[in-house]
Amino acid sequence: VPILTHPERLTWIKANYEIVENLNAVGCLIQLTADSIIGAFGRTALYYSEKLIDEGRVDIIASDAHGATRRRPGLSQAVAVAAKRCGEDEARNMVLKRPGEILANRPLEPVGKARSKKPSPGNTG
């Protein structure tokens, strides 16, 4: 299963947001960078992080750590911010449960794909 990493940081996201939506709808997981969620990568990355979380498209939050001094791992602050938008359980799923499932090589249905399914006639949900 492909993982689209840090789409909120892609320079083309504003003009091509539907590509992210379409990839998610067909099964691509979406991973945000923790620093984007707390605003460390600027307003655009923050805006799209919030939008993706609010739309229920985010599967994973990753540190994007590059070492102990440069881009240090700082998931706690991002999880706290995400929890305010989607709830504590879902924020924990993004940093613990789903990454664990990936490491264990277990199948994972993107949260955005599940939310984008339209009920069939006669099925209200």
> Residue 110's pLDDT is what?
86
25-45 pLDDT per residue, tens: 999 999 999 999 999 999 999
CATH class in words for 3-65+72-114 = alpha beta
Segment 11-30, tens digit of pLDDT = 999 999 999 999 999 999 99
User: CB–CB of 34/71 below 8 Å?
Assistant: no
Domain positions in the chain are 3-65+72-114
> Taking residues 73-87, what's their average pLDDT?
90
pLDDT of the residue at 29: 95
Q: Which are the contacts of 9, defined by CB distance < 8 A and separation ≥ 6?
A: 33, 36, 41, 45
Cβ pair 49, 40 in contact under 8 A: no
Structure tokens at 106: 């277990």
Mean per-residue pLDDT of the chain: 87
pLDDT of residue 125: 43
